[in-house]
Amino acid sequence: MTPPAGTVPVAVVAFAQTVHRRRTDELSEAEMLMPVLHEVLAATGLRTGDIGFTCSGSSDYLAGRAFSFTLALDGVGAWPPISESHVETDGAWAFYEAWVKLLTGETDTALVYAYGTSSAGELRDVLSRQLDPYYTAPLWPDSVALAALQARALIDAGHTTGPALAAIAARSRADAAANPYAQLRGAVAHGDPVVHPLHTGDCPPVGDGAAALILAAGDRARELCARPAWITGADHRTEAHALGVRDLTDSPSTRLAAERAGVFERPLDLAELHAPFTSQEVVLRRALDLDTRVRVNPSGGALAANPVMAAGLVRIGEAAAAIHRGEAGRALAHATSGPCLQQNLVTVLEGET
Amino acid sequence: MTTAPGAPGASPLTAPLTVEFPFTRSLGPVQSAFLTGLRERIVLGVRASGAGILVPPVEYDPATAAELRELVQVGTSGTVTTWAWNSRPRPHQPLASPFAWVLVRLDGADTALLHVLDAPGPEAVRTGMRVRIRWAAERDGAITDIACFEPDDSPPAAPRTVRAHHGTFDNPVTGIVTPARLDYTHTPGRAQTRYLQALGGRRITGERCPSCDKVYVPPRGACPTCGVATAGQVEVGPRGTVTTFCIVNIKARNLDIEVPYVYAHIALDGADLPLHGRIGGIPYDEVRMGLRVEPVWTDGSRHPDHYRPTGEPDADYDTYRELL
């Protein structure tokens, strides 16, 4: 949706992320989170007690730590009793909840954070437990296998080729050379097939990381940030969970979310797409009708760092940071969850001229 | 827990952690008919308003959410709509040797079913190829009653119309159990590693918040009040005070403790947060708030086995009222 008439505009005013790494064995989730929480607070001069609403995204399944999100809350300083919420998915959806909360006018600042510790388990198997338990989960199809079915459908439909996918991987990893937080940086070999037609280079690295951002409304945003990234629209949509019902070469949910968020009203400068697999960038570019004038994933995207449950929030943060730095005027950020781009969130961020 | 290889003194603790549970689900009328049908080597679909025949069937239309009940029988051969070659099968997957993941549109269906295809190699698989179901020898009403698909070299059957099916069977399957087992390597983080390493020397350590000065035990690395790291270690106890307690009358499975017994919150001397432990060495009905206790360690255990009275006079209520 776009903000209803009469509501105070809301902006992203600060963003921080960890250096994403293959393993973080020495850290609990609260220990991993604290530096990014302190960084966004320091950037705005806010203290935890000043924050009106706190919302987080994560999944206990990644590290097998029950109720880890309640323990991670220790890192926020949940005292005096705070207004707090958690989504059991990517932090981009926590961002959406916080945006709606601020639009109600109930508060004027929100802290959003997300983290993922994928290194503790076998991510491909762990993610298979999110599938429907009747017809799909008993077969244990892993996340790469499902993405590979989508890639094959795209190749058969003539929307991409193996070399075109390799080029997406190469561009992403080359762009990541300028991203000090990325897990895979610079030229990376396309590698061997993992699940054909996807090669290692078509797949995201497995790793751990966290991210946080602060939202503020109206004049508060202008006080806290020289050039706020105003949220001019955000929307999220879901498709049928059964893969065999969907056209895997298309993402109507992304297109509808983008329409409702106002993406197509004016040109974009930049798009941060949450495409963990190269083939998914092909689907998203088609759904969002992105032309060559739009810079896609200058951060390297999820192919360079994919802290599961935080990678979508990182896309929003990267797009906002580009506006904070004056490098973009109008940016799109996309986040996804579920197999083969099942759920999609799109938001538009704009700087004042 | 074992110490992982790495830099001496700095290496984090790690331990294997297995999360395992039987995911037990009841079935609605459509799913029950479909899975029971598989047991009888019959594949059922459901007629949807716009999308034609859905296989596998669902109870609600994916487009309109309208309730769907009109079952039809479809073929056991079909066409591959997309595929992916899996050269290294993972644990629990249907075939142990390399196979293709496939979406198959069964004859008469308008949607595709996810399963696996037994084929000699990727060169033997293509979108549009004909395949047929290979039934599992033993079937009990689950998607795995289809062992896999196999190439179907017979000429395509003439276009067939699906026929209605009553969906009723003797002894229908009404529920499924989907086992889930995930193996992790658990790492507790810096603060808990320091705490556990101290316990190995029979010392109990808390960590002090640099902002509010509170000592947390066991420490989790962050002060939940201030949201900052608790880095300064403080030895607490070994003696402490019972702040509150309960009497447990249910015997825990696999636990060699006679009931009733007392489980208590114990404020160790020097700590600003009580931890919990079992109280022993005193009849359960004589345990009281303010009782002074100390840990009892047993060989081979990292944690105190229980806490027993020290014999000191009870602590004054005002000394622990903030720790209740």
Please indicate whether, in this complex, the C-beta atoms of B187 and A120 are within 8 angstroms of each other. Answer: yes
Q: Which of A193, A10, A164, A34 is closest to A100 using CA atoms? A: A10
Residue B2 pLDDT greater than 70, yes or no: no
User: Domain limits at B253?
Assistant: 237-324
Please indicate whether, in this complex, the C-beta atoms of A28 and B220 are within 8 angstroms of each other. Answer: yes
pLDDT of residue B71: 97
Tell me the one-letter amino acid at B300.
G
CATH code of B274's domain: 2.40.50
Helix-helix angle A252-261:A278-288, to 10 degrees: 50
Mean pLDDT of A37-42: 97
pLDDT of residue A260: 98
Do residues B164 and B257 share a domain? no
More confident residue, B204 or B23: B204
Mean pLDDT of B202-228: 93
pLDDT over 70 for what percent of chain A? Answer: 100
What ipTM goes with this model? 0.94
Contact list, A34 vs chain B (CB under 8 Å): 221-222, 227-229
- Domain membership of residue B157 (yes or no) is yes
- Domain membership of residue B221 (yes or no) is no
Q: Which of A315, A326, A318, A316 is closest to A352 using CA atoms? A: A326
Do residues B32 and B169 share a domain? yes
**pLDDT, tens digit, 9 for 90 and up, residues B148-161:** 999 998 776 666 67
Chain A: nearest CA to B225, how far in angstroms?
Answer: 5
Distance (Å, rounded) from C-alpha B143 to C-alpha B44?
12
CB-CB contact of A194 with A184 (8 Å) = no
pTM of the model: 0.94
Please indicate whether, in this complex, the C-beta atoms of B114 and A243 are within 8 angstroms of each other. Answer: yes
Distance (Å, rounded) from C-alpha A113 to C-alpha A56?
5
pLDDT of residue B290: 97
Least confident of A286-295, B73-82, B296-305: B296-305
Question: What structural domains and CATH numbers belong to chain A?
Answer: 10-122+206-224 (3.40.47.10), 126-203+229-350 (3.40.47.10)
Contact list, B105 vs chain A (CB under 8 Å): 244
CB-CB contact of A202 with A279 (8 Å) = yes
Do residues B35 and B168 share a domain? yes
**pLDDT, tens digit, 9 for 90 and up, residues A188-224:** 889 999 999 999 999 999 999 999 999 999 999 999 9
Please indicate whether, in this complex, the C-beta atoms of B90 and A136 are within 8 angstroms of each other. Answer: no
pLDDT of residue B91: 87
Residues 4 through 43 of chain B touching chain A, CB cutoff 8 Å: 4, 10, 12, 14, 17, 19, 23, 25, 27, 31, 35
pLDDT of residue B157: 64
pLDDT of residue B4: 40
Residues 273 through 332 of chain A touching chain B, CB cutoff 8 Å: none
CA dist B122 → A137, A146, A162, A197, B105 (Å): 24, 16, 15, 10, 19
pLDDT of residue B301: 85
Please indicate whether, in this complex, the C-beta atoms of B225 and A76 are within 8 angstroms of each other. Answer: no
Do residues B168 and B249 share a domain? no
Residue B3 pLDDT greater than 90, yes or no: no
Contact list, A135 vs chain B (CB under 8 Å): 56, 113-114, 143
pLDDT of residue A40: 98
> In whole angstroms, how large is the CA radius of gyration of chain B?
31
Mutate to test the interface with B, among A29, A31, A59 (most CBs of B within 10 A): A31
pLDDT of residue B51: 67
Please indicate whether, in this complex, the C-beta atoms of A193 and B222 are within 8 angstroms of each other. Answer: no
| Whether B185 contacts chain A with CB within 8 A | yes
Distance (Å, rounded) from C-alpha B269 to C-alpha B205?
11
CA–centroid distance for B223 within its chain: 28
Do residues B82 and B163 share a domain? yes
Contact list, A197 vs chain B (CB under 8 Å): 84
Residues 67 through 96 of chain A touching chain B, CB cutoff 8 Å: 71, 73-79
pLDDT of residue A66: 85
- Chain-wide mean pLDDT for chain B? 92
Domain's final residue, options B173, B199, B224: B173
Residues 39 through 68 of chain B touching chain A, CB cutoff 8 Å: 51, 54-56, 58, 62
Contact list, B226 vs chain A (CB under 8 Å): 48, 77, 79
Q: Which of B275, B277, B276, B267 is closest to B320 using CA atoms? A: B267
Cβ atoms within 10 Å of B235's Cβ, excluding its own: 15
Do residues B154 and B291 share a domain? no
**pLDDT, tens digit, 9 for 90 and up, residues A148-171:** 999 999 999 999 999 999 999 999
pLDDT of residue B63: 82
Mean pLDDT of B56-80: 93
Residue A94 pLDDT greater than 50, yes or no: yes
Domain's final residue, options B173, B188, B223: B173
**pLDDT, tens digit, 9 for 90 and up, residues B223-277:** 988 999 998 899 998 999 999 999 999 988 777 888 999 999 999 999 999 999 9
- Domain membership of residue B252 (yes or no) is yes
Do residues B137 and B270 share a domain? no
Band (pLDDT 50/70/90 cuts) for residue A302 is very high
Band (pLDDT 50/70/90 cuts) for residue B81 is very high
How many domains are there within chain B?
2
Do residues B167 and B34 share a domain? yes
Distance (Å, rounded) from C-alpha B317 to C-alpha A50?
35
Residue B5 pLDDT greater than 50, yes or no: no
**Nearest residue, CB atoms, B101 vs list A31, A63, A145:** A145
- Domain membership of residue B23 (yes or no) is no
Q: What's phi and psi for A162, nearest 5 deg?
A: -55, -50
Distance (Å, rounded) from C-alpha A187 to C-alpha A169?
9
Chain B: nearest CA to A79, how far in angstroms?
Answer: 5
